[in-house]
Amino acid sequence: MKSTHHRAVGWVFITLGILIAACSQQIVFPGLERLLGIETIVGRDSVTYLPDGGYAYTNPGAMVRWVVSVAAVGVLLAFTGAFMLFRARHHHRSSHERATVHAA
Q: Has residue 78 got a pLDDT over 90?
A: yes
Instruction: Locate the domains of the chain by residue range.
Output: 2-103
The reported pLDDT for the residue numbered 16 is 93
Average pLDDT of the chain to the nearest whole number: 81
The separation between CA 41 and the C-alpha centre of its own chain, rounded to angstroms, equals 18
Asked if residues 88 and 7 have their Cβ atoms less than 8 Å apart, the reply is yes
The CA-atom distances, in angstroms, between 2 and each of 19, 59, 84, 85, 96 are 26, 48, 12, 12, 14
pLDDT band at 7 (very low <50, low <70, confident <90, very high): confident
Q: How far apart are CA 51 and CA 28, in angstroms?
A: 27
Output the CA angle 83-89-90, nearest 5 degrees.
Answer: 85
- 53-74, pLDDT tens digit by residue? 888 878 888 888 888 888 899 9
